[in-house]
């Protein structure tokens, strides 16, 4: 049985350490219930697929910290080029793709590649050396520590239950406020 998005994020919250976590789409509504630190950033831009680039920039600027980007499969499909870009940089980026087979931002419709796209194969072909895929909460719980340790970039594919017909929730606080919180924390940590 596939895990829910909440179950996937609960495992991630237990093992994220002191990494920056960027959430998108459904994760934006759930993550603040699990973690609400200055290192959390709910990213809902006007164009899908841009969170991995933001994560790479932060990882290059903060190499001692590491960045986890929680992205949807629909968002990844909007910017497949990010896989090649991330794989080409030896940065501590952990790209976690929540694969529910839909575009939530427009109302939860299935996307064209639902159930057909081999995200593990795509990320490997793009150059990722560390690629993981989990389809159940127990597997993800057992493999999370290994996936989140060691050198980046890392691609982590999580099959999660679909929530067709549900739209992306609003960010927990305005993006300007989130940027100020993250900047404050990163300046304090040096």
Mean pLDDT score across all residues of the chain: 86
- Per DSSP, the three-state class of 138 is helix
Question: How many domains, in total, are found in the chain?
Answer: 1
Sheet holding 20-23, edge to edge: 40-42, 20-23, 67-72, 93-99, 154-159, 130-134
User: What confidence tens digit (pLDDT) does each residue in 57-74 have?
Assistant: 999 998 998 999 999 888
Q: Are 99 and 160 in contact (CB under 8 A)?
A: yes
What is the rounded CA–CA span in Å between residue 126 and residue 141? 26
Mean pLDDT within 17-33: 88
pLDDT number for residue 172: 63
Which of the four pLDDT bands, split at 50, 70 and 90, describes residue 182? Answer: confident
Residue with more model confidence, 122 or 24: 122
Mean pLDDT within 135-151: 94
- pTM, to two decimals: 0.87
Q: Which domain does 144 fall in, by range? A: 5-189
Mean pLDDT within 14-36: 89
| Residue 107 pLDDT exceeds 70 | no
Provide the CATH number for the domain around residue 40. Answer: 3.40.50.970
User: What confidence tens digit (pLDDT) does each residue in 112-123 have?
Assistant: 776 778 999 999
């Amino acid at each position: 049985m596939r895990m829910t998005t909440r179950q996937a994020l609960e495992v991630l919250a237990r093992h994220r350490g002191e990494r920056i976590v960027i959430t998108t789409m459904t994760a934006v509504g759930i993550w603040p219930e699990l973690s609400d630190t200055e290192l959390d950033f709910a990213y809902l831009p006007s164009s899908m697929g841009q969170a991995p680039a933001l994560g790479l920039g932060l990882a290059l600027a903060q190499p001692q910290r590491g960045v986890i980007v929680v992205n949807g499969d629909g968002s990844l499909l909007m910017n497949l080029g990010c896989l090649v870009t991330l794989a080409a940089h030896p940065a501590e980026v952990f790209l976690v793709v929540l694969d529910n087979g839909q575009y939530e931002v427009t109302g939860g419709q299935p996307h064209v590649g639902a159930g057909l796209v081999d995200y593990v194969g795509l990320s490997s072909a793009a150059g990722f050396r560390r690629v993981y895929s989990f389809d159940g909460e127990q597997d993800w719980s057992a493999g999370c520590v290994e996936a989140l340790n060691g050198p980046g970039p890392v691609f982590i594919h999580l099959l999660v239950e679909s929530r067709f017909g549900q739209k992306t929730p609003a960010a927990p606080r305005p993006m300007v406020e989130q940027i100020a919180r993250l900047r404050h924390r990163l300046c304090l940590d040096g």
